[in-house]
Amino acid sequence: MEQRQRKRLSLQIFTGVTLTWLVLCYLTWIANGCKAFMPFISDFDLYQPGDFIFSLGTFLSAVTVIWVMFELQMHNREELLKKDAKIIWHLLNHSAIFPGMIAAYSCYMVGQIPWNVDGFMHGSYAFDVFYKGIYWCVLVNIVTLRVHWNSSSLRKILTARLVPSLFAIVGLWQMISAQSTVWTEDFDWDTWNSSSHDMMEFCTSSIYPMLNYAAMWEFLLVLGIVFTVFSFMLDLQPVENTESLGEEE
């Protein structure tokens, strides 16, 4: 398989797998009689069949995103070498792999530790996914500037990459803001964790309406990161299309 096709395939599989399990989990949540607005993504791990789909999905997303991270890191390295970029750009490109790998591992662990079993560890891994995912988004946006500098495709590619990255940043900010109005210092975490044992009571009620909005922002955050990754499809367009554009210019 040609390298460019392999890289595109990694992006397609990661995005397809992640969106598929998110949709399936949400549909099973609704099918179980739970409220449509709005579960946290981790709530899908509480009850079957969402529990199985969530655990399998986070594992597959973690595995495929590791593949994607290395493919994109090598792609950017090759492009920076072609443009004779200074060492600082290579360091930025290589540094992006570290938050990406941490986010991938944490994604897997989120699927192994439901929040009602160990809320602290689950939350720690979840925020590793969020923060490290956004760090990766920021770094690849910076590297994109150098890779496509003086290119006619810079505006198109940077827009496709920067917009979902900004959605992810806003999603994280708004999610934390909404959560902080409920999860205060005197919040009773033991009662909250045990409340999930009664499925219908937990998933149909809205004791804390602000958490519904926090969950909505979490979805925006996660989708922002996913579509930042998917934006590299523009970098990996078939070579013949790029050549024909060059001839027309």
Can you give the residue ranges of every domain in the chain?
3-248
Yes or no: say if 222 and 39 are a contact pair by the CB < 8 Å rule: no
Residue-wise pLDDT for 70-107, tens only, equals 999 999 999 999 999 999 999 999 999 999 999 999 99
State the sign of the Cα–Cα–Cα–Cα dihedral 160, 165, 166, 172.
positive
Residue-wise pLDDT for 51-77, tens only, equals 999 999 999 999 999 999 999 999 999
d(CA 95, CA 219): 26
Mean pLDDT of 20-36: 96
Write the single-letter amino acid at 20: T
pLDDT at 248 exceeding the cut of 70: no
pLDDT interval class at 1 (50, 70, 90): low
Percent of the chain at pLDDT above 90? 83
Residue-wise pLDDT for 139-177, tens only, equals 999 999 999 998 899 999 999 999 999 999 999 999 999
Ordered DSSP codes for 163-208 = HHHHHHHHHHHHHHHHHHTTS-TT--HHHHHHHTTSHHHHHH--SS
pTM of the model: 0.92
d(CA 122, CA 112): 9
